[in-house]
Each structure stands twice: as structure tokens, then as C-alpha cells.
């Protein structure tokens, strides 16, 4: 759909009020939680000129609508509307990975259960080999189940059904992730959105949470398992990243166990396996619904050693960089068809790391 160029320009101007160490645009105040404290960008090697360069890149080369960078829990760079709620696309999967921990550890969820044992089937039927997949296979994207998903967004290099043994081949496949959400609800007896707020959200000071905007979607004539999309603000995306950076601990309270945070960011699909699946050389291995920056990639800075990210279509990212004690929340609200490509986000990340890597005191 074409939009009036003046309207687009007005939207861009309203969203892209920005700067180093300052808050983003403000909508209606929501007095839940606290603002991130302001930090000194210079402590991370970011002088005013470099911050301006990052800002100009975001304006000229992306359609980002909100960016927040935390260094040691303080705001060192911000851009755009940090409090605007919108769809975070496949970042939802990384959130679900965090949610699984409590219930795996207390025995409510058994990752070794097969789809056959759980009575799982889908429209048109699953193949016998597909029913041998386990819950663990689903959340590591290694199920071998290539039934169509209720929503788009799969890796297009999908093998024919029945050609891969469960657990042997990585494929980024929304059917796996949607079923993982449905099984979370089946195991726990809880709605996925209510469980998120009950188990995580209420403890990390979310400023912009709105339960009413969270609804499941997808074409249920294709698959009976809907997508479970989340809507977060940029500043609340940063809270999710910061919880992971702090190994699941928030101000002394263990929200997600340290062991589980480590498990979901452990590599279960190697860099080579992910590259084979996509038929291209990328930067990542894969954990449990988190993408892991791999040292084997020639494009990854040494500063990304141990780093990982949630990735969502159209330009949504929650990137955790332990080497720098840093979190990047990057949002592209899809309003009026706005998108920021993955390649462009990585250019922004590389530029940031080039400044930090050369100038940090």
C-alpha cells in the first residue's frame, strides 16, 4: 500500500527523536517500573560524534523506530520511541525459551516426551516418523517435522516430509515453535501470555505491558497450532535482554534459573549445520530458540564471543553481549510496512562494535 510521502515523513520525524544517553519519544505515561538510569557513553568508547554517526545510520539506512543500548544496566544510547508497543515477531520464541525453564526444572514439562506420547497430530495427519520427535527437538528446531505452519516465516529450504530423522537436522520451522507454545499450555494448564507475566513480567518492572493486545494468530485451516506473538516496547525488550545478561537474576531475585539461561544459550546446532540449512555462510549457531554468534564466522567481532540474540522479521532484535556487559534492543514497528533487514541490523551492530572496540577506555 502506498502512503502519502508527507504522512510518512511526519511519522518518521515523530518516531525518530533521538540521542545519546537520553530517553526516546513519550506517549501516554505508564507509571509501572522505573526508567533505566542514564550512563556515560564515553565509558563505552562512544563520544558525541560516534553517537551522531550511529544516529545518522539509523535514520539514513534503517526504518528502526526504537533502539536502546544498555551498558552495565545503564542507558548509553537511545533512539526513537522507546515506549511504543508493537509486534516483536520471532523474538517471541526466545521469550518462550525463557518461560520453559521453571516448568522443565520442576518436572511439569518433560522434554523427552515424543509427539506420539503426547497425542499430537495436525491437519491432514503427521507421518509416523514425525511423531517420534520430542519436545526437546521442537525447541532446538531439529524436529524433522515439516508440516505447514499456521503462519509464514519458515526457512524456504525445507526438506520433503519424512526425509529427516528427528533430532538430526536443523531447520528453522514455525511449526516447531508454534507447537512448542501449544505444548507449554498443555503441560502447564496456563495461557502463554498470562504465564509470561506471572513468571517473568511482573518481576522485571515492565513499563508498557498490556495484556489486551496479546492474541494468538495464524491460519488454523492450515495447522491447528497458532502463533503466539508478543507485543513489547523497546525499553521492555531491553529488560528481557538484561534478565538474560544477568543469568536470570533481577535485583537479587532469581526469575529464571542460571542453569536454564545457560542451557538455552548452549549450541545445539552448530554454525556449520545452520549454514547448511540456509545454503549460505551466516554468523550463528542455534540454541533453544536463541541465535548464538559463533566464533567460526569471520564476520563476527571478538567482542561477540558468547553473545546471542533474539531475531524477529522486519527488524526486531534483543542482542546480549556478555563481553561488553551490554544489551541492544532494536525495534522496527511494522506500521505502514516499515522493515529493517537483518543485513542492515548487522551493519549497525558492526559499526557500534568498531567504535567500542577501538575507543573503550
- Take residue 227 and report the three cell numbers written for it: 502463533
Distances (CA, A) of 233 to 93, 266, 350: 17, 27, 24
pLDDT in tens, 146-191: 999 999 877 778 899 999 999 999 999 999 999 999 999 999 999 9
The whole-number pLDDT of residue 337 equals: 80
The whole-number pLDDT of residue 361 equals: 53
The whole-number pLDDT of residue 12 equals: 47
The whole-number pLDDT of residue 19 equals: 52
Domains of the chain: 91-231 (3.40.710.10)
Closest CA to 196 of 311, 310, 73, 94: 94
Return the C-alpha torsion angle 292, 147, 89, 308, nearest 10.
0
The whole-number pLDDT of residue 21 equals: 54
Q: Are 87 and 188 in contact, with CB atoms under 8 Å apart?
A: no
CA distance 253 to 273: 37
Please, what is the angle between helix 48-61 and helix 342-359, to 10°? Answer: 170
CA distance 170 to 278: 10
CA distance 236 to 218: 25
The whole-number pLDDT of residue 298 equals: 96
Closest CA to 74 of 309, 325, 306, 349: 325
- Take residue 15 and report the three cell numbers written for it: 518516531
Q: Are 115 and 239 in contact, with CB atoms under 8 Å apart?
A: no
The whole-number pLDDT of residue 280 equals: 87
Rg of the Cα trace of the chain? 20
Give pLDDT < 70 ranges for the chain.
Answer: 1-33, 336, 358-361
Q: What is the DSSP string of 184-253?
A: HHHHH-S-HHHHHHHHTGGGTT-SS--GGG---BS-TTT-S--B---EE-HHHHHHHHHHHHTTTEETTE
Q: Residue 189 forms beta bridges with which residues?
A: none
Amino acid at each position: 500500500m502506498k502512503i502519502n510521502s508527507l504522512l510518512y515523513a511526519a511519522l518518521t520525524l515523530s518516531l525518530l527523536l533521538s540521542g545519546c544517553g537520553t530517553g526516546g519519544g513519550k506517549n501516554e505515561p505508564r507509571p509501572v517500573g522505573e526508567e533505566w538510569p542514564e550512563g556515560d557513553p564515553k565509558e563505552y568508547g562512544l563520544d558525541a560524534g560516534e553517537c551522531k554517526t550511529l544516529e545518522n545510520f539509523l535514520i539514513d539506512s534503517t526504518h528502526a523506530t526504537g533502539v536502546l543500548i544498555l551498558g552495565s544496566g545503564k542507558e548509553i544510547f537511545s533512539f526513537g520511541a522507546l515506549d511504543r508497543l508493537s509486534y516483536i515477531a520471532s523474538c517471541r520464541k526466545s521469550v518462550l525459551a525463557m518461560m520453559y525453564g521453571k516448568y522443565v526444572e520442576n518436572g511439569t514439562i518433560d522434554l523427552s516426551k515424543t509427539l506420539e506420547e503426547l497425542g499430537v497430530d495436525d491437519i491432514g495427519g503427521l507421518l509416523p516418523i514425525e511423531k517420534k520427535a520430542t519436545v526437546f527437538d521442537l525447541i532446538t528446531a531439529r524436529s524433522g517435522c515439516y508440516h505447514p505452519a499456521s503462519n509464514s516465516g519458515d526457512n524456504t529450504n525445507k526438506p520433503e516430509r519424512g526425509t529427516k530423522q528427528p533430532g538430526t537436522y536443523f531447520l528453522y520451522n514455525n511449526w516447531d515453535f508454534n507447537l512448542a507454545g501449544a505444548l507449554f499450555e498443555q503441560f502447564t494448564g496456563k495461557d502463554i501470555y498470562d504465564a509470561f507475566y506471572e513468571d517473568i513480567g511482573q518481576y522485571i518492572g515492565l513499563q508498557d505491558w498490556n495484556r489486551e493486545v496479546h492474541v494468538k494468530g495464524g491460519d488454523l485451516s492450515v495447522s491447528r497450532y497458532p502463533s503466539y506473538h508478543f507485543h513489547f516496547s523497546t525499553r521492555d525488550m531491553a529488560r528481557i535482554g538484561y534478565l538474560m545478561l544477568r543469568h536470570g537474576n533481577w535485583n537479587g531475585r532469581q526469575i529464571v534459573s542460571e542453569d536454564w539461561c545457560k542451557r538455552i544459550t548452549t549450541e545445539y546446532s552448530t554454525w556449520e549445520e545452520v549454514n547448511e540449512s540456509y545454503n549460505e555462510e551466516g554468523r550463528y549457531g542455534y540454541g533453544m530458540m536463541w541465535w548464538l554468534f559463533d566464533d567460526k564466522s569471520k564476520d563476527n567481532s571478538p567482542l561477540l564471543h558468547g553473545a546471542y540474540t533474539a531475531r524477529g522479521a522486519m527488524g526486531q532484535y534483543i542482542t546480549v553481549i556478555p563481553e561488553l556487559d551490554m544489551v541492544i534492543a532494536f525495534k522496527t514497528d511494522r506500521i505502514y510496512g516499515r522493515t529493517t533487514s537483518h543485513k542492515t541490523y548487522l551493519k549497525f551492530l558492526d559499526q557500534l562494535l568498531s567504535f567500542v572496540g577501538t575507543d573503550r577506555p
